[in-house]
Structure 1
Amino acid sequence: MKIVIADDHSVVRSGFSMIINYQKDMEVVATAGDGLEAYRMVQKYEPDIILMDISMPPGESGLIATGKISQDFPDTKIIILTMYDDEEYLFHSLKNGAKGYVLKSAPDAELLDAIRSVYTGDTYVHPKMTNILVKQYITHDEMAKDDTNPFKILSKRELEILPLVAKGYGNKDIAEKLFISVKTVEAHKANFMEKIGLSSRPELLEYAIKKKLIEF
């Protein structure tokens, strides 16, 4: 199995690479420090599996990258590897195309089991999170009905730009970072500010933290 690891901490990337490369049926072919780099590594190496961290400041988040990669490279299966045992992250990850959700605190054997399970076509969720999935199924996915849910009301491009604006990046910096024009940034910014009903960056920052689009 060809594997890519995306995490903003080099120590984490090195540690998981050692564990995986020790296996006879696995090989880490590349690593990435944020979502944009993860997308490029998938494009270049066409891996079977990518282990994706959720939060990779100041780069593109793993959730956004997951949506892009699952759409453009459906043969690459995505496993979210995170410290967050949070139901919102779990639901957004699965809805964006992830096939696995593993906590970084899990034993090495669990991570390896998850990789092998997802590779064969199964979906793997950390045992601690399965009760959340059952509860959500019983309540008919109330989160999907929430009109304040950013993953429901905002486009993928707006979800890329919003966290960067909240962090204080200027329009020009965002345009260069995402390889789009300044006018495009301005248009998307105006659209999502209207959609969520905010008018200032402090309000946007509070919103982004509350909705877990960025870390505090």
Structure 2
Amino acid sequence: MTKAMNSSQEISILSAIQNYKDIVTLLNDSSRYGLHISLTIENEKSIFQKILNTKPDFVILEGKSGIELIRKIKSTLHLCTKCILCLSDLDKPSMISAIFTNADAYYLKDTFNESLINCIQCFIKGERYISPLLIKKIQSPVFNNRITLLNQLSKRENETLRLLSYNYSIKRIAEILFICEKTVEAHKNNIIKKLDLTGSRELRQIASQLYKDSPSAFDR
């Protein structure tokens, strides 16, 4: 669960999506729901630096480049920007792979009765958002199982689990997350307890299964 926001405050959004219709709908809906949104459109090539400089509340991204950017954002220390990943009519494996980015919201664009305002409203309430249409479209046990499992974990535990899937050592994970090795061990033990696993070996097996389609964004 994410931290709830005050709906009366100005919400800063940085967007790289090219769908003008979705942006216009977002602004129209925000006025209707009494939300104050400051929206900036940015080129994909420069958006990451813009995020680092301005630290917006939300960033709206799409496609493969958006997936890579979200991985970079999630691996950047002290960056609290929430990520909305816009998906188009992709094939099922591509959609499932996109879920592994650990975005804060998944939005299926170009779809009747689907609006970016749904994502914003969920964030204001301190919740994540996954398009109901996307869930119906996937209808995948892999997807459902992953969401069920990962919703039990904290953000740091999710990060630790993802790094374990790359077969990193405890020392390497501590270096990446800028925490001590004892803290990594504590996260690991919490994950084992929450997921009711038998130990470290099963934990790494589960991590590999959950993140098998997600390449490392840390050793580049």
1:71 is aligned, of 58, 68, 75, to: 75
Separation in 1 of the partners of 2:62 and 2:114? Answer: 18
Local SS of the residue matching 1:30: strand
The 8 Å contact of residues 103 and 126 in structure 1, kept in 2 or not, is answered as yes
Letter paired with 2:61: M
Equivalent residue number for residue 102 of structure 1: 107
More helix by share: 1
RMSD: 3.4
Alignment of 1:34-45 (within 5 A): 34=44, 36-45=45-54
Equivalent residue number for residue 156 of structure 1: 217
Alignment of 1:88-167 (within 5 A): 88-107=93-112, 110-131=115-136, 132=138, 135-136=141-142, 137-138=144-145, 144-145=208-209, 149=212, 151=214, 154-156=215-217
Q: Indicate how the Cα distance of structure 1 residues 97 and 138 shifts in structure 2: closer, same or farther if over 3 A, else same.
A: closer
Q: Indicate how the Cα distance of structure 1 residues 19 and 138 shifts in structure 2: closer, same or farther if over 3 A, else same.
A: closer
Equivalent residue number for residue 19 of structure 1: 25
The 8 Å contact of residues 25 and 115 in structure 2, kept in 1 or not, is answered as no
Letter paired with 1:19: T
TM-score, normalised with respect to structure 2: 0.53
The 8 Å contact of residues 5 and 28 in structure 1, kept in 2 or not, is answered as no
Letter paired with 1:32: E
Deviation at 1:76, TM superposition (A): 0.9
Q: Indicate how the Cα distance of structure 1 residues 86 and 120 shifts in structure 2: closer, same or farther if over 3 A, else same.
A: farther
Ranked by relative contact order (alpha carbons within 8 Å, sequence separation 6 or more), the top structure is 2
Q: Indicate how the Cα distance of structure 1 residues 138 and 104 shifts in structure 2: closer, same or farther if over 3 A, else same.
A: closer
Deviation at 1:106, TM superposition (A): 2.6
Deviation at 1:125, TM superposition (A): 1.3
Query: What are the Cα deviations for residues 15-69 of structure 1, in whole angstroms up to 9, with x where unaligned?
Result: 33333333231424322232x42212212322111111114xxxxx111100111
Letter paired with 2:24: M
Letter paired with 2:120: I
Deviation at 1:91, TM superposition (A): 3.8
Query: What are the Cα deviations for residues 46-102 of structure 1, in whole angstroms up to 9, with x where unaligned?
Result: 2111111114xxxxx111100111222542111111213444444444432301111
Letter paired with 1:156: A
2:16 is aligned, of 6, 20, 44, to: 6
Letter paired with 1:4: L
Separation in 1 of the partners of 2:38 and 2:94? Answer: 25
Give unmatched runs, 5+ long, in structure 1.
56-60, 159-187, 189-216
